[in-house]
Amino acid sequence: MTEQNIQPWDLDWPRALGGAAIRADFRSVPEDFVVDELAAPEPGEGEHVLLQIKKRGANTAYVAQQLAQLAGVQSRDVGYFGLKDRHAVTTQWFSVWLAQKPEPQWRQLDSDEITVLQHFRGPRKLRRGEHLGNRFQIRLRNVSGDRDAAEGVLRRVPEGVPNYFGEQRFGLGGGNLDLVNQLAGEQESGKRRRTPRNQKAFAMSAARSWLFNQVLASRVSQGNWQQILEGEPEDSGSGPLWGRGRNPAADAQLALEEAAMAPWKDWRDWLEHCGLSQERRMLVLKPQGFQADWEGEDLTLSFALPPGTFATAVLREVAELANVSTSAIK
């Protein structure tokens, strides 16, 4: 292992818009974090049932499990567009493949945590990332600090923020990164052990996200994260999602990326052996329909983001957050 691959993991990547000028409480109650999936499946015919569900204080996997149990199907027969936060109020779509099974009474799921809003038949399973995105309404409470400076940051947010992967990608206390270290180290030493498929998937995702964030952090520190460097393989600024194959970047872009990822060669080797292919991710995240409204000491932010991006990438530019939910949930 390289010396850099040690705990504690530093997840505080550099900010780009001048630094967070205010502090605030985050997720005091689930209603402070509202997420609505931007998707509109159309009714049709088929062996799948599509359900729009509103959940409060429940994660996506739990709702999917409840759907599978009620329908008498395997968990793999339940689909959804993406994972949604637990300590939040979220609206999202699920699909359940019934085949020839009778359709249950879906309203039996209704509880303080789950509300079935509508359901109808459809032709296929919902797949991750196939929706248009998510709309957020986030209330930050007990704001303190330099409000004038915060206003300056808020005015710049619509122009774009660094498209970091959120801390939740890396697990509690960086636990997913610890697993990457373990698996990459075993490969390097020639040791092999069976790892549950879901754990390995979390580790692969965390490793790719970590490497991307290192490149983006380097670009932010150098002040060129919104620029097109010589050797950029995309029409707009991008960074690597590591895997098998040649890095398509060249010249200055390639040199910067190689330098940022140099301490993590064993991780890159492991990802290549996992069979993942090289991909790219945009460096700049532009929230759509961004609004900021003050109410006393509280600040409410509203915006929409595309699939695979994180609201925390926006929030971290605005405020230092005290995640009140940490002691209450997980």
Q: Which of the residues are catalytic?
A: 85
What would the 3-class secondary structure string for 186-237 be? HHHHCCCCCCCHHHHHHHHHHHHHHHHHHHHHHHHHHCCCCCCCCCCCCCCC
Cα Rg of the chain, angstroms: 21
CA distance to 31, 167, 193, 242, per residue, from 310 (Å): 18, 9, 33, 19
| Distance in angstroms (rounded) separating the CA atoms of residues 261 and 58 | 36
Q: Is 269 helix (H, G, I), strand (E, B) or coil?
A: helix
Are the CB atoms for 217 and 228 separated by under 8 Å?
Answer: no
DSSP E strand boundaries for the chain = 22-26, 33-38, 48-56, 78-80, 89-97, 114-122, 133-145, 161-162, 238-241, 279-282, 284-285, 288-295, 298-305, 319-323
Residue 320 near residue 20 (C-beta atoms within 8 A): yes
In this structure, which amino acid lies at residue 100? Q
- 306, 40 contact by CB (below 8 A): no
Cα 127 to Cα 81, 93, 94, 162, 276, distances in angstroms: 5, 10, 9, 26, 19
